[in-house]
Amino acid sequence: MHICILSGSTLGGAEYVAEHLNDVLKTQDFSTTLFHGPSLSDIENEKIWLFVTSTHGAGELPDNLKPLFDELAKNQSDFSNVRFAVVGLGNSDYDTFCYAADKVEQTLQEKNAVKICETLKIDVLNVDDQEGYAEAWLPRFIEGLK
């Protein structure tokens, strides 16, 4: 089974989590492709999307994910053949905690993509080992693929 991992990162935290999940999935015999800020043409033939994104500024998507979501907003295609999951990193001191993860989820569901499992929201204030925290969530994602 092939999984396309897409990271949106401003300071690198989400990128590190995405790379860690990529490595863990490979050890479990999944084939993976990892993109840091893909375009729609990079991923349009992928069937399983795993987003790992931080929230930037006032609840915005990171700059390297914005172009993809601008493309998705303009695209009239039906994405019901795509299954997805989201890992969000954020700071609970802000009332926009993990808004980017919410935007990813909402946009993909509006395009009829199918959510695999509950979104993982990582509070960087309270979780020191974000990679390990995301890895502990991974079995839920894998179970949802079956």
Is residue 58 predicted with pLDDT exceeding 90? no
Overall fold of domain 2-145: Rossmann fold (3.40.50)
Task: Give residue-wise pLDDT tens across range 5-32.
Answer: 999 998 889 999 999 999 999 999 999 9
Q: How far is CA 1 from the centre of its chain?
A: 18
Which pLDDT belongs to residue 57?
81
Cα gap 66→27, rounded to integer Å: 31
Instruction: Identify the helix (H) or strand (E) that includes residue 114.
Output: strand 114-115
Model confidence pLDDT, tens digit, residues 34-57: 999 899 999 999 999 999 999 988
In whole angstroms, give the CA distance from residue 97 to residue 55.
7
Q: What is the mean pLDDT of residues 123-144?
A: 97
The SS3 of residue 75 is coil
Instruction: State the pTM of this model.
Output: 0.96
- The answer to whether the CB of 31 falls within 8 A of the CB of 145 is no
**What does the domain layout of the chain look like in residue ranges?**
2-145
Instruction: Supply the pLDDT for residue 11.
Output: 84
CA distance 136 to 146: 18
Structural tokens at position 79: 């994405």
For 100-120, how does the pLDDT look when each residue is reduced to its tens digit (9 = 90+)? 999 999 999 999 999 999 999
Q: Could you write out the DSSP letters of every residue in 59-72?
A: TBPPTTTHHHHHHH
